[in-house]
């Protein structure tokens, strides 16, 4: 039979009253019991208490505002679990923070798909999701889940949205016809020297250089030609931007008139009435984003939050707010007209119309290309 | 009678100094030691390194002209910034020192007002001054001086301008403190012996204020050469300094061993500049300037 602490103390008191133990022994035992109770209570209490908050890190700006408004706030109202949020401009930045912190400090990351997923797995930061706790995953596009499952059969992330990095242009300066005709080559058009921008990211730069040199971005044969094109863009560019906010700022202040750009951010600018056109040239860079759960996170709460985020009503509201199509299968869930009109939206759900980066091919070359890109971007 | 009398009790001194020594060891020496050890680690892939010791990172730094070029550029930008700070900063400091204005404290207060605003916000403000839609270009276009906006932003000039804006108060304060310590009767004596104002300045004031000028030069050089935010916000991709190289290596390539190597290189370079200054001028002048 289990004896409670109170019962033990009562018995101790009884023995002392009966004269079975000395006053010194009674006080020593009582103090020990009190100390043990006092010392154990705080951490035991915290450990046993329900999780009251979950940490989320995302890209900030209009994207995170939409997630917060349509997913986190309703979730907190419903579950009383607060979502503490952080932001990053470059995902490598958050990987560095995760590496230097203890497991559990960072919990859910709005990650940039499979290319980055490999980095988390290599670093040993990934967790194992119990998919049974996320029933809404049944509505997620299989074509988006499979690349993750190829890397880790037991998933650590759930695809959430997708988009493209196409060409954004100021349509007061560049006509839609000219944009369509020149496509990716607009980024090396000398006519716009000093008014060209681009994402300061190796994958985007190499991808567009591959399109400009008519190579397959997932099977590049001539890297010298790629770096020559990257240098050409660099020399014509005014600024390589490094965050969505900077991209929107450069375009809206007319510092640049053409750049590769994230489809959702361009849609946001268009909704603000900015004269910005958008074009996905053939082979435009498509990417997906996922909700990645890190090792050491409170899994049940994270899974519950992700399930809430994948609920069709929530997911659609977030998608409309952030201007990126959701990972929901349009053949299973009825999506809205606004989503159907978003750039990059694939109504078939097969994702065959979009060109994603082959994660294994890019992972193999990532270190060398990133190092070379760093040099080229600085004038080498 | 002072026999056996000591200015301080040695044991008490150690007790009082111990917290600072412990903090310095934990927060400065230990991290530097760890970074130094990291320079010998092997880079495996982005974000992953092994404790297999190697000289590869040092070999790469010593043999790759890419790094040498940026180191030289960093020294050059740091030196240019420090010299311009000295030229621009000396005269305001001299004016504040020499003025008979009753509320001199107000002038000194104005010097530190910029520090009340976040450094990043102050740097961002230059984008709206130097940009194509910025204050200068819009004003010049409206006045009909130019037809096309001048390319001022995202250039090395913009970086130096941002650094000047950040560092000028340090220079002025250092020079001012140095001028304040000059015995004014020396200048009066020089004048009474027939020196003109310019001669008195050249022969008495300027030489006696040199320690402050030197301290300002060192501070401005070290802070400019170690800067990261200003070139990141106001410079183009080619205007990066060594600090940006370190950031990109650690945060972009996730190559900590090489990033640690570059960090130690910059630390040694700036440390050498401070040591050289200390050898010839003494670091105490900088402390005076900082505590002004």
Per residue in B146-172, pLDDT (tens digit) is 998 898 998 999 999 999 999 999 999
Q: Determine the average pLDDT of the residues in A199-209.
A: 95
> Hey, CA dihedral for A201, A197, A193, B137, is it positive or negative?
negative
Q: What is the pLDDT of residue B6?
A: 72
Q: Determine the average pLDDT of the residues in A225-231.
A: 97
Q: Could you report the per-residue pLDDT of A318-372, keeping only the tens digit for each?
A: 999 999 999 999 999 999 999 999 988 999 999 988 999 998 899 899 999 999 9
| Tokens encoding A237 | 């560019």
3-state SS of chain B is: CCCCCCCCCHHHHHHHHHHHHHHHHHHHHHHHHHHHHHCCCEEEECCEEECCCCCHHHHHHHHCHHHHHHHHHHHHHHHHHHHHHHHHHHHHHHHHHHCCCCCHHHHHHHHHHHHHCCHHHHHHHCHHHHCCCCHHHHHHHHCCCCCCCCCCCCCHHHHHHHHHHHHHHHHHHHHHHHHHCCCHHHHHHHHHCCCCHHHHHHHHHHHHHHHHHHHHHHHHHHHHHCCCHHHHHHCCHHHCCHHHHHHHHHHHCCCHHHHHHHHHHHHHHHHHHHHHHHHHCCCHHHHHHHCC
Nearest-angstrom CA–CA distance, B126 and A173: 26
Q: What is the DSSP string of A125-159?
A: -B----GGG-GGGGGB-HHHHHHHHHH-SS-SEEE
- DSSP bridge partners of A58: A87
CA A181 to chain B, closest CA, distance in angstroms equals 28
Q: Determine the average pLDDT of the residues in A266-290.
A: 93
Q: Determine the average pLDDT of the residues in A5-29.
A: 56
pLDDT-based confidence at residue A38 (cuts at 50, 70, 90):
very low
Residue A8 has pLDDT above 60, yes or no: no
Q: Which residue in chain B has the smallest CA separation from A202? A: B252
pLDDT-based confidence at residue A48 (cuts at 50, 70, 90):
very low
The pTM for the full model equals 0.78
Q: What is the DSSP string of A33-101?
A: HHHHHHHHHHHHHHHHSPP-EEEEEE--HHHHHHHIIIIIHHHHHHH--EEEEEE-SSHHHHHHHHHTS
Q: Determine the average pLDDT of the residues in B61-82.
A: 96
Contacts of A90 in chain B (CB under 8 A): 251-252
CATH code, B42-290: 1.10.3720.10
How is residue A241 annotated by DSSP?
E
Nearest-angstrom CA–CA distance, A263 and A164: 6
- Cβ–Cβ under 8 Å, residues A230 and A217: no
Q: What is the pLDDT of residue A195?
A: 93
Backbone phi, then psi, for A102, in 5-degree steps?
-90, 155
Residue contacts between A and B (CB atoms, under 8 Å): 71
Q: What is the pLDDT of residue A3?
A: 44
- Cβ–Cβ under 8 Å, residues A203 and A357: yes
Lowest mean pLDDT across A185-199, A279-293, A313-327, B112-126 = B112-126
Q: What is the pLDDT of residue A81?
A: 94
Contact check, Cβ <8 Å, A119/B254: yes
> Hey, CA dihedral for B227, B229, B235, B239, is it positive or negative?
positive
Q: Could you report the per-residue pLDDT of B73-111, keeping only the tens digit for each?
A: 999 999 999 999 999 999 999 999 999 888 888 998 988
Residue A158 has pLDDT above 70, yes or no: yes
Q: Determine the average pLDDT of the residues in A51-65.
A: 91
- Cβ–Cβ under 8 Å, residues A166 and A204: no
| Tokens encoding A115 | 């290319």
Q: What is the pLDDT of residue A45?
A: 42
CA B225 to chain A, closest CA, distance in angstroms equals 17
Contact check, Cβ <8 Å, A371/B255: yes
pLDDT-based confidence at residue A32 (cuts at 50, 70, 90):
low
Q: What is the pLDDT of residue A47?
A: 43
Q: Which residue in chain A has the smallest CA separation from B231? A: A378
Q: Could you report the per-residue pLDDT of A59-75, keeping only the tens digit for each?
A: 888 889 999 999 999 99
Contact check, Cβ <8 Å, A119/B252: no
Q: What is the pLDDT of residue B277?
A: 86
| A297 or B3: which leads in pLDDT | A297
- Cβ–Cβ under 8 Å, residues A291 and A306: yes
Residue A209 has pLDDT above 60, yes or no: yes
| Tokens encoding A169 | 């242009």
pLDDT-based confidence at residue A1 (cuts at 50, 70, 90):
very low
Q: Could you report the per-residue pLDDT of A163-196, keeping only the tens digit for each?
A: 999 999 999 999 999 999 999 999 999 999 999 9
Nearest-angstrom CA–CA distance, A163 and A354: 9
Nearest-angstrom CA–CA distance, B224 and B232: 13
Average pLDDT score, chain B: 91
Q: Which residue in chain A has the smallest CA separation from B256? A: A96
Q: Locate the domains of chain B by residue range.
A: 42-290
- Say if A254 is an interface residue toward chain B (CB within 8 Å): yes
Q: What is the pLDDT of residue A244?
A: 84
Residue A43 has pLDDT above 80, yes or no: no
Q: Which residue in chain A has the smallest CA separation from B258? A: A371
Q: What is the pLDDT of residue B280?
A: 79
**Residue A165: in which H helix or E strand, if any?**
strand A157-170
Q: What is the pLDDT of residue A144?
A: 94
- Helix, strand, or coil (residue A199): strand
pLDDT-based confidence at residue A31 (cuts at 50, 70, 90):
low
In B65-94, the residues whose Cβ lies within 8 Å of chain A are 66, 70
pLDDT-based confidence at residue A2 (cuts at 50, 70, 90):
very low
| B290 or B33: which leads in pLDDT | B33
Judged on CB neighbours under 10 Å (0-12, 13-18, 19+), A344 is buried
Residue A49 has pLDDT above 60, yes or no: no
Q: What is the pLDDT of residue A249?
A: 87
| Tokens encoding A153 | 């059969």
- Cβ–Cβ under 8 Å, residues A305 and A75: yes
- Say if A367 is an interface residue toward chain B (CB within 8 Å): yes
Backbone phi, then psi, for A103, in 5-degree steps?
-55, 135
| Tokens encoding A261 | 């750009």
Residue A112 has pLDDT above 60, yes or no: yes
Q: What is the pLDDT of residue A10?
A: 55
Contacts of A374 in chain B (CB under 8 A): 245, 248-249, 252-253
Judged on CB neighbours under 10 Å (0-12, 13-18, 19+), A355 is buried
> Hey, CA dihedral for B245, B246, B251, B253, is it positive or negative?
positive
Q: What is the pLDDT of residue A90?
A: 83
Task: Give the orientation angle of helix A113-123 with respect to helix A359-377, to 10 degrees.
Answer: 90
Q: What is the pLDDT of residue B281?
A: 74
Q: What is the pLDDT of residue B102?
A: 85
Average pLDDT score, chain A: 88
Contacts of B42 in chain A (CB under 8 A): none
Contacts of A239 in chain B (CB under 8 A): 154, 236-237
Give the strand pairing for A108-111 and A258-262: unpaired
CB atoms within 10 A of CB A77: 8
- Say if A68 is an interface residue toward chain B (CB within 8 Å): no
Q: Could you report the per-residue pLDDT of B226-259, keeping only the tens digit for each?
A: 999 999 889 887 899 999 999 999 988 999 999 9
In B246-265, the residues whose Cβ lies within 8 Å of chain A are 248-255
- DSSP bridge partners of A86: A57
Nearest-angstrom CA–CA distance, B51 and A173: 55
Q: What is the pLDDT of residue B131?
A: 87
Residue A34 has pLDDT above 80, yes or no: no
- Cβ–Cβ under 8 Å, residues A258 and A195: yes
CATH code, A163-286+365-377: 3.40.190.10
**Residue A283: in which H helix or E strand, if any?**
none
Q: Locate the domains of chain A by residue range.
A: 1-37, 54-162+288-360, 163-286+365-377
Contact check, Cβ <8 Å, A378/B238: yes
Q: What is the pLDDT of residue A42?
A: 42
Give the strand pairing for A237-241 and A82-87: unpaired
Question: Would you say domain A54-162+288-360 falls under CATH 3.40.190.10?
Answer: yes
Give the strand pairing for A258-262 and A237-241: unpaired
- Say if B2 is an interface residue toward chain A (CB within 8 Å): no
- Cβ–Cβ under 8 Å, residues B166 and B122: yes
């Amino acid at each position: 039979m289990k004896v409670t602490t109170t019962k033990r103390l009562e018995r101790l008191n009884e023995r002392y009253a009966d004269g079975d133990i000395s006053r010194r022994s009674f006080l020593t035992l009582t103090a020990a019991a009190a100390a043990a109770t006092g010392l154990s209570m705080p951490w035991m209490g915290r450990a046993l208490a329900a999780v009251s908050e979950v940490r989320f890190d995302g890209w900030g700006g209009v994207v995170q505002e939409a997630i917060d408004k349509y997913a986190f706030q309703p979730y907190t109202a419903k579950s009383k679990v607060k979502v503490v949020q952080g932001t990053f401009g470059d995902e490598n930045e958050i990987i560095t923070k995760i590496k230097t912190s203890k497991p559990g400090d960072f919990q859910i990351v709005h990650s940039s798909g499979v290319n980055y997923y490999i980095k988390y797995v290599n670093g040993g930061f990934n967790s194992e999701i119990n998919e049974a706790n996320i029933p809404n995953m049944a509505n997620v596009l299989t074509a988006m889940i499979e690349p993750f499952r190829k890397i880790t059969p037991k998933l650590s992330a759930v695809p959430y949205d997708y988009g493209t990095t196409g060409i954004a242009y100021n349509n007061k300066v560049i006509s839609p016809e000219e944009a369509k005709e020149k496509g990716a080559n607009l980024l090396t058009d000398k006519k716009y020297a000093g008014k060209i921008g681009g994402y300061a990211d190796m994958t985007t730069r190499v991808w567009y250089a591959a399109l400009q040199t008519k190579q397959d971005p997932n099977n590049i044969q001539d890297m010298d030609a790629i770096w020559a094109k990257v240098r050409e863009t660099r020399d014509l560019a005014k600024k390589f931007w490094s965050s969505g906010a900077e991209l929107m700022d450069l375009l809206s202040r007319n510092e640049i008139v053409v750049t590769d750009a994230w489809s959702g951010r361009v849609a946001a600018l268009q909704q603000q009435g900015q004269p910005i056109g958008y074009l996905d040239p053939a082979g435009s860079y498509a990417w997906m984003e996922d909700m990645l759960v890190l090792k050491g996170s409170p899994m049940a709460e994270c899974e519950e939050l992700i399930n809430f985020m994948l609920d069709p009503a929530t997911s659609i509201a977030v998608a409309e707010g952030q201007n990126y199509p959701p990972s929901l299968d349009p053949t299973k869930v009825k999506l809205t007209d606004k989503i159907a009109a978003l750039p990059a939206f694939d109504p078939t759900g097969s994702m065959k119309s979009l060109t994603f980066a082959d994660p294994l091919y890019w992972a193999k070359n990532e270190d060398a290309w990133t190092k070379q890109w760093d040099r080229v971007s600085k004038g080498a | 009678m002072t026999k056996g009398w000591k200015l301080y009790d040695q044991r008490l001194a150690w007790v009082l100094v111990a917290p600072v020594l412990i903090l310095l060891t934990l927060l400065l020496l230990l991290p530097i030691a760890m970074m130094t050890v990291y320079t010998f680690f092997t880079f495996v892939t982005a974000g992953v390194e092994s404790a297999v010791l190697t000289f590869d990172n040092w070999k790469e730094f010593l043999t790759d002209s890419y790094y040498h070029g940026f180191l030289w550029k960093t020294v050059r930008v740091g030196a240019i910034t420090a010299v311009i700070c000295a030229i621009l900063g000396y005269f305001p400091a001299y004016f504040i020192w020499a003025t008979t204005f009753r509320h001199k404290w107000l002038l000194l207060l104005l010097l530190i007002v910029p520090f009340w605003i976040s450094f990043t916000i102050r740097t961002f403000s230059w984008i709206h001054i130097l940009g194509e839609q910025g204050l200068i270009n819009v004003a010049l276009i409206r006045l009909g001086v130019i037809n096309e906006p001048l390319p001022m932003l995202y250039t090395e000039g913009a970086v130096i301008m941002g650094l000047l804006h950040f560092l000028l108060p340090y220079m002025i304060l250092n020079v001012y403190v140095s001028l304040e310590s000059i015995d004014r009767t020396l200048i009066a004596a020089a004048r009474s012996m027939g020196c003109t104002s310019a001669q008195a300045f050249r022969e008495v004031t300027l030489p006696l204020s040199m320690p402050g000028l030197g301290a300002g030069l060192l501070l401005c050089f070290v802070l400019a050469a170690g800067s990261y935010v200003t070139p990141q916000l106001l410079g183009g991709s080619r205007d990066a300094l060594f600090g940006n190289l370190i950031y990109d290596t650690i945060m972009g390539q996730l190559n900590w061993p090489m990033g640690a190597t570059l960090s130690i290189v910059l630390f040694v370079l700036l440390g050498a500049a401070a040591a050289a200054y200390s050898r010839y001028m003494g670091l105490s002048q900088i402390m005076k300037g900082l505590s002004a």
